[in-house]
Structure 1
Amino acid sequence: MDSQFPLESHSRSCRRTFFAMAAGLLACVSLPSFAADWQPVLLPQVKQLDLQSRHTGHRYRIFISVPGTPAPASGHPVLYLLDGNATFPSAALMARTVARRSKATGQDAPIVVGIGYASGEDYDSAARSRDYTPSAGDKTGKGEGGADLFLDFIEQELKPLVQSAAAVDPQRQALFGHSYGGLLTLHALFTRPAAFQAYIAASPSIWYADQHVLSEVASLAAPRNAKPRVLLTVGELEQAAAPPSARASEHGNALAKRRMVDQARDLAAQLAAHKDGFGLRQVRFIELQRENHGSAMFPALSRGLEFLLE
């Protein structure tokens, strides 16, 4: 047994010699300095500007992607995105894909407009709570209820700006919003049904202010020449049963209480059942399998773009 120890010691010595030689060799190699070579990423065909609104008194960061392909005779369709800092990059890439395949699909390449915030945050919680929530009387929280002023900004300030920058088809414009943005999209549909030709409400926060937005449904009466189309989407996991852990259970209980899936499905069914009376052309509901509230936004963007271009 003792005779094994010298061999083991020799093996360790060989390994130390090998690693020392390797370290010396690496020291002689000039490795590139990656930190000095990084460059900012610029999205193709994308521009942005910060715009001060005279209606809300607040500053917005506007992103726009205009197709490089010639505009159709009627102009490009336009997809307006809420939470633009987060939603715009993915949607702009999807739109470029449409442009590349337009000859094969027959779809017109869209303009994508992201309405974000100059803070640069993906989600500016305070700003979106202010801009995306309708006034609900004494149920409106502090710093909330600015939806109508924000919609005035889009209609009277942003749309003319976009129309001056590119060839727009005024009869093919859509509004996309997720979560609180979905709530605003529904509020816009119920109170301004002629503002857009398609309303895409993804995982809408119908629960806000004791479901105040549902009280607006009865007043929906789109003009005959408008007849907007409506798409509601929601993630399958947005109304999951409470998991076993205490923290997860609290979150699960909140999901169950808000009834995100049931509320979206029921609203879609109500709109579809009375679409002629409401003046709607089409109502569609999609439950996104295996998606939660956060992840559901991305497939909803893809479905929403398809819905606009149909």
Structure 2
Amino acid sequence: MKTLLILACVLGLAPSAFAAGSGATGWAPAVLPQSVQRDLPSHHTGRSYRIFVSKPSAPAPATGYPVIYVLDGNAQFPLLALQARAQEKRAAVTGQAPTLVVGIGYPIDGLNDEQARAEDYTPPAADLSDTGDEQARRQGGADRFLAFVEDELKPLIERSYPVDRQRQTLFGHSYGGLFTLHTLFTRPQAFQTYLAISPSIWWNHRQILDEQRAFAQRLADRPQPLRLFLGVGALEQPSPLDAGGNDPRRQRLDSRRMVDNVRELAATLAPLERAGLRSQLRIFPDEGHGTTALVASGRALGFAAGQPE
């Protein structure tokens, strides 16, 4: 509930959203301006996705709109959409082109479909018996989900809006951050800019690092311009000095090493700048796993536009 209240307050929807649920009369559902949605079935994954789009009011540049694709769209899209509108109003000052925001979510009323995203956002593996996720019924569907994005979603967006194919960004948090890294490491040409926030590097014994090593070799052989933003909250990994080491939640956080994993990945990727990968690391002080997504999303559009962090 705390996360819901934070999100609602940030979006300015708290009074109407919560009063409507209390049975008060005279309230109508809140509507996000300049935004539309539809459900899109996928032949690749066998499930449907709720697609949210926020289109700028300004005409598209000659090359088309830059696009940012946002995973966990039910939760993450509203904030990015409102930020895109605010940036558009300040375009004369920032010089930033209006951005098309596309949220990829699920046809649910809540913020996340935990079972669906656990399957869609985790990479394939020969052995999924000990991934560290004890709740997910199915995992390892990231390649099918990426095929949906590339073969079904992107063509739909490009038929509907003028899009700059050379300015496309992927934004993901947690398992979405893991999927963002998987896409960068296995299909780097899919996007030009990647934002991996609190990525679940711990998943399946840090399998993603094997993909990173293969990617580093390919990029060294065939350089290409790519940009990566890595973000994590300082509170996502407890300090060794903190009390409560026997608490099960504390033990889980210790074992996942969220901050250390991101730091180590950033250090490993830094030498790839000469091959075209410009990466940045940001550790957000006083932020935990949930709030890091909110804070990092505030920087997503600027980073996608090439503004210095």
- 1:308 corresponds to which residue? 304
Per-residue CA deviation, residues 80-121 of structure 1 (Å, 9 max, x unaligned), is 011000000001011001100001110011100000001232
Q: Which is further off, 181-190 or 238-247?
A: 238-247
* 1:241–1:252 CA contact under 8 A, matched in 2: no
Question: Equivalents in 2 of 1:175, 1:123: separation in Å?
Answer: 18
Q: Is 1:203 matched up with 2:207?
A: no
Letter of the 1:195 partner, please give it: A
Equivalent position to 2:183, from 179, 183, 188: 188
- 1:241 corresponds to which residue? 239
* 2:223–2:276 CA contact under 8 A, matched in 1: no
Q: Is 1:80 matched up with 2:69?
A: yes
Question: Equivalents in 1 of 2:180, 2:63: separation in Å?
Answer: 25
What is the 5 A alignment of 1:24-63?
35-63=24-52
Query: Which consecutive residues of structure 2, in runs of 5 or more, have no partner in the other structure?
Result: 1-22, 132-136
Question: Equivalents in 2 of 1:184, 1:109: separation in Å?
Answer: 26
Shift of 1:163: 0.9
Query: Which consecutive residues of structure 1, in runs of 5 or more, have no partner in the other structure?
Result: 1-33
What is the 5 A alignment of 1:117-196?
117-139=106-128, 142-196=137-191
- 2:19 corresponds to which residue? none
Q: Is 1:67 matched up with 2:51?
A: no
* 1:241–1:253 CA contact under 8 A, matched in 2: no
SS of equivalent residue, structure 2 residue 49 = strand
Change beyond 3 A, Cα 1:155–1:226: farther
TM-score normalized with structure 1 length: 0.84
Question: Equivalents in 2 of 1:121, 1:304: separation in Å?
Answer: 23
Question: Equivalents in 2 of 1:120, 1:157: separation in Å?
Answer: 23
What is the 5 A alignment of 1:195-274?
195-220=190-215, 221-222=218-219, 226-241=224-239, 243-244=242-243, 249-274=247-272
Aligned residues: 274
Superposition RMSD on alpha carbons, in Å? 1.8
Shift of 1:245: 5.3
- 1:27 corresponds to which residue? none
Shift of 1:265: 1.0
Question: Equivalents in 1 of 2:244, 2:193: separation in Å?
Answer: 41
Letter of the 2:305 partner, please give it: L
Larger Rg: 1
Per-residue CA deviation, residues 143-166 of structure 1 (Å, 9 max, x unaligned), is 110000000000011001111111
Letter of the 1:213 partner, please give it: I
Question: Equivalents in 1 of 2:168, 2:224: separation in Å?
Answer: 12
